[in-house]
Amino acid sequence: MNGAQMHALVERLYPLCRSITGNGVRRTLEIVGEHIPLEIFEVPTGTEVFDWTVPQEWNIRDAYIADASGNRVVDFQQLNLHVVGYSTPVSARMTLEELRPHLHTLPEHPSWVPYRTSYYAPNWGFCLAQDTLDAMPDGEYEVCIDSTVEDGSLTYAEHVVPGQVTDEVIISCHTCHPSLANDNLAGIAVAVALAQSLDNPYYTYRFLFMPGTIGAITWLARNHERIGKVKHGLVLACAGDRGQLTYKKSRRGDADIDRVLRYVLRERQHKVVDFSPYGYDERQFCSPGFNLGVGSLCRTQYAGYPEYHTSADNPDFVSPQAMEDTLAVCREAFSVLDRDRRYVNLSPYGEPQLGKRGLYDSLGGRSDAKETQMAMLWVLNFSDGEHSLLDIAQRSGLPFDSVAAAARALQGASLIKE
């Protein structure tokens, strides 16, 4: 899947009204399932997941504010951000003054519509442009929110790419935001493209498509007994804006995923930030009871751009080229992670003779012969069980690919072993 195809997926998913539960999430997963096979999980309302409880399910069919002539001045059918997420049903007539406490705008961006939710406290409301509100005369309005909040389930999905080992890498993205192209959908599109690109990886890769916070907590609770298999992980969000890449380290700060992303990003415009217990689902995976090696990759960090959580975060805001760049970093990072090993030199007393093993001869007239020879010497010298191939690449200044190729050749000649 290239940048144009990822962008087309974002455009297709954009109109759907998603939340932490409901049919919008299910339809989203149906569309994702056209690209990669998914296993869908439904967790019933009331299920205890650590300190949380799976909430009631929210669905909405229609919502509007109509003036005295019956014209819809605010219309959910035009933009699903117009309704506060998880709004309880309403059917009433009220004055503008009575309605105002339930209206949300962005005066600093008067043409934009904000995104607001009320997941865990029963409430209702509308989001609209300040310009629209300013144009609404005093008088009576018809207010309708045709929604349900009732027992149902929380829906999430997994896609697994089997590896050579059962140790796992988890890739997580959230499915709970409605029409927000960068903060949600770009991450989903990059995850789908990444899943399609993996071919016989070393680790088993588990892709998680689930609502933020409650979804990750639910997944962790349901997989508590097998969490030890998770060796590395990455949360994808805000993956398509035109800003520079930002990597947020795991709580450990020096996990393998942290070292790999710092290495891969070294030659790009990027920013690396320390872990904080605020953001996306890295904070659930890195909670002290789990403390997994899970970082977060985005472009401009959440709340770091004016369009964040507004109607301006639309498909025009995300770039096919930016999503391709995010995907390329992910692919390179997991390529390095899959090949990063520690070796032991089986001939550690002096430098072994490479020529008699055909290792020099095999280089022939290759233009990179000198680099490959140096990589072999570095791998031999630092294969002490303590230094990984990534350590060697960083210390030597040689490309990781050259170091990994040297290790394969040396292992084939029985000079090193894992």
Strands 245-248 and 294-298: antiparallel
Tokens of 193: 């493209």
pTM for the complete prediction?
0.95
Pick from 250, 175, 213: nearest CA to 49: 213
Strand partners, 147: 60
CA–CA dist 1, 7 (Å, integer)? 10
Tokens of 417: 């072993």
Residue type, 86: Y
Pick from 99, 192, 206, 205: nearest CA to 143: 99
Domain 57-150: give its CATH superfamily: Domain of unknown function DUF2172 (3.50.30.90)
Sequence-ordered list of residues with C-beta below 8 angstroms from that of 131, at least 6 positions apart, any chain: 110, 111
Domain 3-54+174-339: give its CATH superfamily: Zn peptidases (3.40.630.10)
Local confidence pLDDT in tens for the 418 residues of the chain: 999 999 999 999 999 999 999 999 999 999 999 999 999 999 999 999 999 999 999 999 999 999 999 999 999 999 999 999 999 999 999 999 999 999 999 999 999 999 999 999 999 999 999 999 999 999 999 999 999 999 999 999 999 999 999 999 999 999 999 999 999 999 999 999 999 999 999 999 999 999 999 999 999 999 999 999 999 999 999 999 999 999 999 999 999 999 999 999 998 889 999 999 998 999 999 999 999 999 999 999 988 999 999 999 999 999 999 999 999 999 999 999 999 999 999 999 998 988 888 886 554 455 566 888 899 999 999 999 999 999 999 999 999 999 999 999 999 999 999 9
Q: What is the DSSP string of 325-362?
A: HHHHHHHHHHHHHHH--EEEESS-SS---SGGGTTTGG
Beta strands, E only, 254-397: 270-273, 294-298, 342-345, 384-388
Tokens of 118: 């009320």
**Sequence ranges of the domains in the chain:** 3-54+174-339, 57-150, 342-417
C-alpha triplet 33, 39, 41: angle, nearest 5°: 115
Pick from 161, 158, 374, 169: nearest CA to 260: 169
Tokens of 157: 């999905």
C-alpha triplet 148, 151, 153: angle, nearest 5°: 105
In three-state form (DSSP H/G/I as H, E/B as E, the rest C), the secondary structure along 79-95 is CHHHECECCCCEEEEEE
Residue with tokens 């089986």: 346
* CATH number of the domain located at residue range(s) 342-417 in this protein: 1.10.10.10
Sequence-ordered list of residues with C-beta below 8 angstroms from that of 202, at least 6 positions apart, any chain: 163, 164, 165, 338, 339
Q: Are 35 and 196 in contact (CB under 8 A)?
A: yes
